[in-house]
């Protein structure tokens, strides 16, 4: 049995599904609202199902619509990526790439990479899933992201891990804090002050707990957060100090925050790109992957002492893969 709908109908459906508004969707694909509604009606009639629940105030996908949205997105992306693979039309093709990142890597790497990528491929959409280390790994394994930036995953048998840099943990504190004037701080010294940490579900927490097993038990923290970025905000507010990876610290001479290297031991983490060994990257994703890889040398310089060669020789250094 032939199904009577076309590519334009799928694109109209995707626009409404993403924007949850017929008006905004019509504007995004340069159609009138009546023309957009006719395309959605045609698609629903062809499929014999209702894809949207519509009222005067809202538009929402039905259960069937949500399932179909994933399939439609995959179909359209496959078509866009096929066009992207043709060199003559690569710069003007549509496409969609999803990259999953731990928040510190999203902040540190992605603004420059996405800016460069957008200049080269202005019609390709980039989605950034900023999530915990475990969620980033799951997104790549499950195919919800094309690839990821993470500090775990190198021990996963079905994951390829490409090292970008190795960074050390530092003490984050305010510039008016007693630790701010020191050249280095031991973990025991850090624990003498009100201490803020991430929760036990965090990959950073697991990494630090593994690396610091030889130290006396740290005192209870005054506050636990889910993400390192939130923890830095609490430090900035003057609530305490925290141990954070270097790239999570704000750059550009922050007026309130500073960092001091942590020693005895030096603890590092390995940040890299992760991708599925079983699933090839689309042409659009492969190009973004290359752009991130090309940030490697520049990123080591920006990190200030976090190059792999710098930390490998540090006395009492501990590098832990929390996977």
Distances (CA, A) of 322 to 108, 116, 131, 208: 21, 31, 16, 9
- Listed in sequence order, the residues at least 6 apart from 92 whose beta carbon sits closer than 8 Å to its beta carbon are 123
Token look-up 């992605």 returns 110
| pLDDT at residue 306, as a whole number | 41
CA distance 205 to 245: 11
Closest CA to 261 of 196, 169, 323, 194: 169
CA distance 301 to 280: 31
CA distance 84 to 95: 8
- CA terminus-to-terminus distance, the chain: 49
User: What are the structural domains of the chain?
Assistant: 1-84 (1.10.10.10), 166-270 (3.40.190.10)
- Listed in sequence order, the residues at least 6 apart from 232 whose beta carbon sits closer than 8 Å to its beta carbon are 172, 242, 244, 248, 249, 250, 257
Tokens representing 195 are: 């201490």
Q: Assess whether the previous peptide bond of 265 is cis (omega < 30° from 0).
A: yes
Token look-up 């999570």 returns 248
Closest CA to 295 of 99, 131, 124: 99
CA distance 233 to 235: 5
Closest CA to 177 of 223, 233, 242: 242
| pLDDT at residue 83, as a whole number | 62
132 contacts 260 by C-beta, under 8 angstroms: no
| pLDDT at residue 301, as a whole number | 42
| pLDDT at residue 121, as a whole number | 87
Per-residue pLDDT of the chain (323 residues; tens, 9 = 90+): 456 778 888 889 988 998 888 988 888 888 899 999 999 999 999 888 999 998 877 889 999 999 998 888 888 877 766 665 554 444 445 678 999 999 888 888 889 999 999 998 888 889 999 998 999 999 999 999 999 999 999 989 999 999 999 999 999 999 999 999 899 999 999 999 999 999 888 888 889 988 998 887 777 889 999 888 899 999 999 999 999 999 889 876 789 999 999 999 999 999 999 999 999 988 889 999 999 998 764 454 444 444 433 333 344 445 544 44
Tokens representing 166 are: 């190795």
Closest CA to 72 of 101, 88, 49, 53: 49
Token look-up 């690839």 returns 147
| pLDDT at residue 311, as a whole number | 38
CA distance 189 to 272: 31
Element (H, E) at 35: helix 33-47
181 by DSSP, 3-state: which?
Answer: helix
Tokens representing 232 are: 């830095």
Closest CA to 243 of 208, 217, 277, 275: 208
Q: What is the DSSP letter of 197?
A: E
């Amino acid at each position: 049995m032939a199904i009577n709908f076309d590519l334009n109908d799928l694109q109209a459906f995707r626009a409404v599904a993403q924007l949850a508004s017929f008006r905004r969707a019509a504007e995004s694909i340069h159609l009138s609202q009546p023309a957009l509604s006719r395309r959605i009606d045609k698609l629903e009639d062809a499929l014999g199902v209702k894809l949207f629940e519509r009222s005067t105030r809202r538009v929402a996908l039905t259960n069937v619509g949500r399932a179909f949205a994933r399939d439609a997105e995959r179909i359209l992306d496959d078509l866009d990526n096929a066009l992207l693979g043709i060199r003559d039309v690569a710069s003007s093709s549509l496409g969609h790439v999803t990259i999953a990142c731990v928040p510190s890597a999203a902040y540190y790497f992605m603004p420059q990479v996405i800016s460069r990528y957008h200049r080269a491929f202005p019609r390709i959409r980039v989605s950034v899933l900023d999530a915990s280390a475990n969620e980033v790994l799951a997104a790549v394994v499950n195919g919800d992201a094309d690839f990821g930036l993470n500090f775990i995953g190198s021990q996963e048998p079905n994951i390829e891990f490409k090292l970008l840099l190795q960074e050390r943990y530092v003490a984050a504190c305010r510039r008016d804090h007693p630790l701010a004037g020191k050249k280095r701080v031991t973990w025991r010294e850090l624990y003498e002050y009100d201490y803020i940490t991430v929760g036990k579900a965090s990959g950073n927490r697991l990494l630090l707990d593994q690396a610091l097993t030889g130290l006396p038990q740290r005192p209870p923290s005054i506050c636990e957060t889910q993400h390192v970025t939130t923890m830095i905000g609490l430090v900035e507010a003057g609530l305490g100090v925290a141990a954070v990876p270097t790239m999570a610290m704000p750059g550009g001479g922050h007026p309130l925050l500073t960092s001091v290297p942590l020693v005895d031991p030096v603890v590092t983490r390995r940040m890299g790109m992760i991708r599925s060994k079983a699933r090839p990257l689309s042409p659009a994703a492969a190009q973004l992957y290359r752009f991130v890889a090309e940030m490697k040398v520049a990123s080591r310089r920006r990190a200030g002492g976090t190059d792999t060669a710098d930390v490998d020789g540090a006395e009492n250094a501990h590098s832990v893969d929390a996977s």
